[in-house]
Amino acid sequence: MTEREALDFLSAAGRFGELGLERTERLLAALARPDRGMRFYHVAGTNGKGSATISLDAMLRRLKRRTGRFISPHLVRAHERIAVDGLDIPAGSLAAAAEVVQEATRGMADPPTEFELWTGIALLHFREQGVTDVAWETGLGGRYDATNAVSPEVSVITSIGLDHMDRLGPTLAAIAGEKAGILKPGRPAVVGDLPREALEVVEDEAGRLGVDIWRLGREIAVEGVEVQRDGTRFRYSDPVGALSVKTALVGGHQAGNAALALAALRRTLGAQEAARAAAALGDVRWPGRFEVIEGEPTLILDGAHNSQGAMSLRTTWHEVFPGIRPVALFGCLRDRDPVDIAGALRGEVASLHAVAPPSPRAQDAGDLARILGGEAHPTVAQGLLAARTDALRRGVPLLIFGSLYLIGAVEEILRRETVPSA
């Protein structure tokens, strides 16, 4: 199997199936349980789960653990989903693992979905590479997510908001019940500052399973937050001690995400090891999460694709660029409410340029421009050029936000340096 054939095999699988772990369990059994012997740090959440996962990965690598990382979605290349010691899965390894998975699923009456196949490939690659510790991000929800087929050392729930309601339920309580599904009997957990309705569900599930939880704002404290263009400083404390921390991720909410990752390590490896690992937070790189690219104009890329993320973006913008109204480039998918997302920045931007992200589920750029007020562009590249020109003329930064498909497309354009000088 070639790399192209592997990617075609994966994309040909359905995105969704009946809720349940049965397909994943059958797949892992057919692969001789590649997860055995690994320590998993399982992360779920409406927002912030990627930041916490990438932070865990960085800290585990600082401790010289043989570390695997599983995230989704990717920004530019599908290979970004799976990494060992910070290195994305090579094309040959992806193809080889996909071939094994394809053979294992041949003839299955209810074959695995695309994400379930990715989960199997990740675990095969980790076993092949001798991984010992895995920063393990859920894809959607938690209880029936393919990643929940493993047994974690610790569970992390970063946040709970109204998102993916068609799959997870119409209320915060229903969504919290799905996220709380990653809790495991007798294993510790750390959770973010959750809405009361959601926290009650998580606490009830924790009590039922005998899970001891640390909560941000209670057992875990974050104080003295200082947000700058190059990162965020804060004072961390928990029941076993305190330390000063800097994360390279920008925003007050990123202090919370970093604190949850740090707390997860302190609960599993102890305060001394976690304190040694914390220095790695200052080197974390997570493209598309209030990513500041200095230049003319300065670019800020943020994958705020729901209302909760957009409000965090608004807060961070005021912290880093107070009093400045940027030009904005925006795009989202059809299953998102553009008013919920871009509306959080209404009155905060000098002008808005709308594009359709490169996805069959993209919201039409013309519709976005009519709904939000702004100028539509036929492609991401043309929209980026027009928005850059506009920002240069006004002498302000360019904020690019919305769908991660848009952020990934812009990242790819910038990496290839194909955007003509404005």
For residues 223-233, average pLDDT: 96
CA-to-CA dists, residue 234 to 84, 237, 245, 278, 316, angstroms: 29, 10, 5, 12, 15
Per-residue pLDDT, 331: 96
Per-residue pLDDT, 344: 85
Q: Among 283, 315, 340, identify where a domain stops.
A: 283
The enclosing domain of 51 has a CATH number of 3.40.1190.10
Q: Among 252, 283, 314, identify where a domain stops.
A: 283
What predicted TM-score, i.e. pTM, was given to this entire model? 0.93
The answer on 91 and 117 residing in a single domain is: yes
Per-residue pLDDT, 164: 67
Q: What is the pLDDT of residues 321-355, one digit of tens each?
A: 999 999 999 999 998 889 989 888 888 999 999 99
DSSP assignment of 49-118 = HHHHHHHHHHHHHHTT--EEEE-SS-SS-GGGGEEETTEEPPHHHHHHHHHHHHHHHTT-SSPPPHHHHH
The answer on 300 and 271 residing in a single domain is: no
Q: What is the pLDDT of residues 141-179, one digit of tens each?
A: 899 999 999 999 999 999 998 766 666 778 999 999 999
The fraction of the chain above a pLDDT of 90, given in percent, is: 87
CA-to-CA dists, residue 135 to 143, 284, 361, angstroms: 18, 14, 29
Its domain, for residue 309, covers 291-416
Q: Are 291 and 302 in contact (CB under 8 A)?
A: yes
Q: Considering the domain boundaries, does residue 422 fall inside one?
A: no
The enclosing domain of 303 has a CATH number of 3.90.190.20
Distance CA 132, CA 134 (A): 7
Q: What is the pLDDT of residues 242-280, one digit of tens each?
A: 999 999 999 999 999 999 999 999 999 999 999 999 999
Q: Among 221, 252, 283, identify where a domain stops.
A: 283
